[in-house]
Amino acid sequence: MARNNDVRRRVAALVVLAGLATAGAAHAQPDPVEIMNRVQDLYRGESSHGEITMEIVTEHWSRSITMEMWSYGEDYTLARILAPAREEGTATLRADDDIWNYLPRVDRTIKVPASMMGGSWMGSHFTNDDLVQESRLVDDYDVEITFDGERDGMRVWEITLTPKPEAAVVWGRVEYTVRQADVLPVSVLYYDEDGEVARSMEFQEFERIGGRTMPRLMNMRPADKPEERTTMRYDDLEYDVGIDESFFSLRTLQSRRR
């Protein structure tokens, strides 16, 4: 299954590259939606399971959280804290548009209200919205290739996402930079509604993980506090682990061990 998926990915890459190859003659652009779908699917197979270390550095404190994470399709994610010990077992479940947090200390689950979706996720520079919205950028934004050429010695596409008129999104514009050779993301700039950069994400350490080449590190920095950052590192990731949506239940969320 894993192998099958990887083959599918490669075929998709070939299709994109072929599109690019013929672009010169026909002035046909590679399909930006296809590129975005590829980028989005990077950390997800049909399902995935992995371990992530999140390092958060703020002006006032810095801390490191290790989490076990599961995902299924576009709409389901479950993350459970393994360390530090004080917060072990604290877990987040995202199912469709909803997010629940499980608090082992008080053995209660609370649903994050809509008004708090823009709030920080586990104290990081990622928001609850990031968990929900990141998965369906193509649905909420119009996608366009705005640059096609060489940057920093690398052929890249710059893909600009502008919100569709009726989409309820937080960003005024999002710019992905994707390298053409393997259709992997390099960086993302998030613009606010005034057209100012609000935060930036960089992808680093391109390695083979779980049978795929992908960036091991994601580094998020808020623009107004350049000394702050959240770094998410994939310690381990495997795809198509044989779970389905039934796994992503409040019951799983509340079980202290998996």
Partner 1 sequence: MSESPWSRIGWRNVGRHPRRTILTALGLAVGYGAVVFIIGWANGFVAEMVENATGLMSGQIEIHDAEYRPERSIYDTLGGRDGVDFAALMDHIAEDERTVGVAPRVFAAGLVSSGEATTAGQLMGIDPARETGVTRFLEGLTEGRLPEPGRNEMAIGSEMARQLEVGLGDELVVVAPGADGSMGNDLYSVSGIYTTGLIELDATNAVLPLTDLQALVTLDPARIHEIVVATTDPFLADEAAADLAASLGADDLGMEVVSWAELNPTILEFSALMDSFYLIIYVFVFGIAIFGVANTMLMATYERRREIAVMLAMGAVPGAIVKSILYEAAAMGLLSLVIGVAISLPPMLWWYAAPADLSWLYGEMTLQGVLLRPVMRVTLDPASWAGAAVALFATALLAALYPAWRASRVPPADTLSGI
The span of 23-31, 98-106, 131-139, 142-150 binding partner 1 (CB under 8 A) equals 98-106
CB of 62 to partner 1, least distance (A): 8
The span of 53-61, 154-162, 185-193, 197-205 binding partner 1 (CB under 8 A) equals 53-61
d(Cα 196, Cα 223) in Å, to the nearest integer?
9
CB of 248 to partner 1, least distance (A): 18
The span of 111-119, 157-165, 211-219, 240-248 binding partner 1 (CB under 8 A) equals 111-119
CB of 121 to partner 1, least distance (A): 10
Q: Does 123 bind partner 1 (CB under 8 A)?
A: yes
CB of 33 to partner 1, least distance (A): 36
The correct pick among 5, 37, 53, 101 for binding partner 1 (CB under 8 A) is 101
Q: Does 122 bind partner 1 (CB under 8 A)?
A: yes
CB of 206 to partner 1, least distance (A): 29
List all residues 6 or more positions away from 13 whose beta carbon is below 8 Å from its beta carbon: 38, 182, 183
Q: Select 7 or 110, whichever has its Cβ closest to partner 1.
A: 110
The correct pick among 87, 140, 142, 182 for binding partner 1 (CB under 8 A) is 87
Q: Does 103 bind partner 1 (CB under 8 A)?
A: yes
Q: Does 227 bind partner 1 (CB under 8 A)?
A: no
